[in-house]
Structure 1
Amino acid sequence: MDMTKFSSRRRGWLLLAVGAASLVAGCHSKPTGQVVATIDGDEITLTELNAELASMQIPAGADKKLVQNAALERIVERKVLAKAARTDGLDQNPEFIVRRQQLEDALLVQMLAKKVAGSMKAPAAGQVDKYMTDNSNMFAARTIYTVDQLQFDTPKRQDYVKGLAAAKTMDDVTKVLDSNGIKYQRGNAQMDSAMVPAPMMAQILKVPSGEPFVVPMGAKVAVSVITGNKPAPMTGDQVRPFATNAVRNAELGKMLQQRLAAEKAKVKIQYQPGFSAPPAGTPGAPGALPAPGGATPSN
């Protein structure tokens, strides 16, 4: 036997064995530095933990260490269950693949909005003053309305729209929905004029007393009748910051729409026969842009 070849081969196996042992040791080493935990060697980083904490509603005065550990455990449990789902092959499920793409796209759009917002300048005092005047329903003339309201999922067919447009009472509305086989929920609700765009609020107030008005809400449609109102003007220190934030959100919305129009002009969009972009203002046809975050007035 050629002892040179044997020794060389033996050294090779020894090196592989040592390398494998090092890998095993590395997989089970204690987390340090930016790594706060591991699951079978898969790292959970401090960045992930901070992102988890940022998504939580943390009560004032809560024990920070306790909250941090609870957030970390939530990540651990989620990852363990996700690993189990992959073991069961669910990551190859068509529904998962589609939903993962939806979530990824939505997150990218949110991050784009955040980037655009970060480049914006603070609105001038004159802009804020004009906004407060043009949108008095949010400030001096703010009103809380009580409404008798029907809500239902936006139907795929639009046959019901003409019937609702002709309805003069809520009884008329229920007849239209019943005749079209549309299930709905009815109850009393509140409508804060500060949370309704000024043009829409102006249209609502033009509706004759006691007659219903329709408000599309993305995946749902609301039909309401005003049954009462209570003045709730915004006053004090909250007014100016709220108005400033509202101006920023309005400007952000315009900038994102401009970016969307510019990007759509760069690409070729084709629809299969029978599919198309809905007409502007179609009920239940929300856009892809995220709704800008804003302050909510307190009563």
Structure 2
Amino acid sequence: MKYASSITVALALMVAACGGKGDVPSGQVVATVDGQEVTLADLKAEMSTDDNTDANTQAQALERIIARKLLAAEARRQKLDSTPLAAIVKTQAEETALAQLLARKVTEGVPKVSEDEINEFLRSYPASISDRRLLSVDQFFVPSLPPKVLEEISKVKTMEAAEAILNANKVVFRRTVTNVDTVSLDPAFAQQLVGTEGNDIFVMPNGQSAEIGRIVSSRSEPITGDAARQAARTIMMRQRSVEMVNNQLGKVIAEGRRKVQVNPQFQGKAAPASAAEAAKQAAPAVAK
């Protein structure tokens, strides 16, 4: 059992918090909480991987499970599980979990990335790997940006001008300074972003929300050698996974919508979200 040895210390520290009495958990059982067993399978599912044997990661995942079970037990003692709202919340949680399982199944068929594809990626998107940047960004986060205002802002080049447009249209926004690692961004956007350094602002819509910002400072932190190739492979596999999930779940949603009937009183005036966007919302942990 490769997990048993790596979580021994964590179990020793946490067993009191589990509230268990009697024998210390062993074998496939990593903890007991209010008489309920937490197994290795539970721990692996919490971490969403079979390969991570880092003791700190496992200990944190186990603590999340313990805390969740203790809070759920207290909610049951207060009989919150028998309320009408509980039934609705349980249904939502079950449907979200099943959508995520479906998305995860889709990702099992993602094709591997070839060495030639990695070479092409490294040539095409240096800002993600060979010219990776750590950026300090002054930005506006806009929770809801109307399309008309977005169009206006896309025509200006300074934060001051963008702020004036937001204020004139009474759009709520929050100004922050944040750090951005270009390896974590969509590769095409990372290339576009570094191109604005010292010049224009950038606008990054995300559904109804958007980020509007300007690069304040930049530091080069290139990834080289085997690490560069592995980083490129990881990025490309993530992109392929997201594309496959959104496409296949989107098809399921588009097909199913044909048979859906909505009460006219609840029919929104705005166009419904695209099937791909609906897939992202239905299985957010995977299809993003």
Superposition TM-score tier, normalisation by shorter sequence: 0.5 to 0.7
1:147 has 2:142 as partner: no
What's the CA shift for 1:224?
A: 0.3
Q: What residue is the counterpart of 1:83 in the other structure? A: 76
Matched, 1:46 2:39: yes
**Residues in 1 aligned to 2:197 and 2:174: alpha-carbon distance in whole angstroms:** 24
Identity of aligned residues (%): 18
1:163 to 152, 161, 164: 152
| Equivalent residue letter for 2:122 | M
RMSD of aligned residue pairs (Cα, Å)? 4.2
- Residue 221 of structure 1 aligns to which amino acid in structure 2? A
**Amino acid of the structure 1 residue aligned with 2:232:** A
Residues 1-299 of structure 1 aligned to structure 2 (within 5 Å)? 37=32, 43-44=36-37, 46=39, 49-50=42-43, 54=47, 73-85=66-78, 87-88=79-80, 91-93=83-85, 96-155=86-145, 157-204=146-193, 207=196, 209-218=198-207, 220-267=209-256, 268=258, 269=260, 272=267, 274-278=269-273, 287-290=281-284
Distance, in Å, in 1 between the alignment partners of 2:282 and 2:73 is: 32
- TM-score, normalised by the number of residues in structure 2: 0.67
Q: Deviations over 1:18-44 (max 9, x none)?
A: xxxxxxxxxxxx9999887585xx854
Please give the alpha-carbon distance, in whole angstroms, between the structure 1 residues aligned to 2:102 and 2:189.
28
Aligned residue pair count: 254
CA spacing shift, 1:177–1:259, aligned 2, 3 Å: same
1:246 aligned partner, one-letter code: I
SS of aligned partner of 1:107: helix
**CA, structure 1 residues 167+241, in 2 after alignment: closer, same or farther (shift >3 Å)?**
same
Q: Structure 2: how far apart are the matches of 1:98 and 1:131?
A: 46
The alpha-carbon distance between structure 1 residues 48 and 250, as it changes in their structure 2 partners (threshold 3 A), is closer
Question: Structure 1, unaligned stretches of length 5 or more?
Answer: 1-29, 295-299
Q: Which residue of 1 aligns with 2:11?
A: none
Contact residue 170 and residue 225 of structure 1 kept, 8 A: yes
Which amino acid in 2 is paired with 1:135? Y
Contact map agreement 1:256 1:289 (CA 8 A) in 2: no
Give the 3 Å change call, closer, same or farther, for CA 139–220 of structure 1 in structure 2.
Answer: same
CA contact (8 A) 2:196 2:215 kept: no
How far apart are the structure 2 equivalents of 1:227 and 1:110? 38
Q: Quick check: 2:135–2:181 contact (8 Å CA) kept in 1?
A: yes
Q: CA deviation at 1:139?
A: 1.3
